[in-house]
Chains A and B, each alone.
Chain A
Amino acid sequence: MIWGAWICLLSPLVAAVLITLGGTRITRRTAGYLATASCFVAFGGALASFIGLLGRDGSQRELVSTAWTWISGGSYRSGLEVIVDPLSVFMMLIVSGVGALIVAYSIGYMDGEDEERRYFAYMALFVFSMLLLVQGGNLLLLLAGWGMVGLSSYLLIGFWHERPSAVAAAKKAFVMNAIGDATMALAFFLLILKGNSLEFGILGGEFSSTVATLVALGLLGGAVAKSAQIPLQTWLPDAMEGPTPVSALIHAATMVTAGVYLIVRTHAIFEAAPKIADLAAGLGAATLLVAGLIALVQVDIKKVIAYSTMSQIGYMFLGAGIGAYGYAIFHLMTHAFFKALLFMTAGLVIHHLDGEQDIRKMGGLRSVMPRTHVAFAVGGLALMGIPIFSGFWSKDGIVSAAFASGDALGYTLAAAGLVGALLTGLYTTRLYFAVWRGEQSDVVREHAHEGHGEGPRTMTVPVGVLTVLATIGGLVVIPGVWEPFLYWIDETAEPLVQATVTEDYATSVVAVSLALIGFFLARRAFEKGRQVVTNPGIWRVLEHKLYFDEAYDALFYRPAAALSVALRRNVEEPVVERSLDEIGSGTIHVGGEVGRIQSGLLRIYAIAVAFAVCVLVVVFVAVR
Chain B
Amino acid sequence: MMGPGVAWYLAVSGFLFGTGALGVLLRRNPLIVLLSLEIMLNGANLALIGFARNLGDGSGQIFALAVMAVAASEVVVGLGLVVALNRKRVTLDVDRLNTLRG
- Residues on A lying within 8 angstroms of B by beta carbon are 594-603, 606-607, 610
Contacts and interface: CB of A to CB of B under 8 A. Distances in A.
B102 A597 contact: yes
B92 interface: no
Contacts of B25: 603, 606-607, 610
B71 interface: no
11 contacts: A596-B102, A598-B102, A599-B98, A599-B101, A600-B97, A601-B95, A601-B98, A603-B24, A603-B28, A603-B95, A606-B24
B95 A610 contact: no
A598 B95 contact: no
Interface in B62-96: 94-95
Interface residues of B, number: 14
Contacts of B95: 601-603
Nearest to A597: B102
Nearest to B95: A601
A56 to B, nearest CB: 75
A603 B100 CA distance: 14
Contacts of A601: 94-95, 98, 101
Contact of B100 (A596, A597, A598, A607): A598
A603 B26 CA distance: 8
The 4 closest A-B CB pairs, nearest first, are A595-B102, A600-B101, A600-B98, A598-B102
Nearest to B27: A603
Residue from the set A600, A601, A607 with the largest chain B CB neighbour count within 10 Å: A600
B44 interface: no
B52 interface: no
A458 B94 CA distance: 83
Interface string B9-31: 00000000000010011101000
Contacts of A600: 97-102
A485 B97 CA distance: 92
Contacts of A603: 24-26, 28, 94-95
Contacts of B100: 598, 600
A590 B36 CA distance: 36
B48 interface: no
A599 B21 CA distance: 20
A38 B24 CA distance: 78
B37 to A, nearest CB: 10
A606 B36 CA distance: 12
A134 B21 CA distance: 80
Contacts of A594: 102
Contacts of A607: 25
A595 B28 CA distance: 24
Given A603-B25, A606-B25, A610-B21, A598 B101 contact: yes
A487 to B, nearest CB: 84
B46 to A, nearest CB: 18
Nearest to B98: A600
B49 interface: no
Contacts of A597: 102
Contacts of B28: 603
A580 to B, nearest CB: 25
A607 B25 CA distance: 7
A492 to B, nearest CB: 74
B33 interface: yes
B39 to A, nearest CB: 14
Contacts of B101: 598-601
A190 B98 CA distance: 68
A521 B102 CA distance: 91
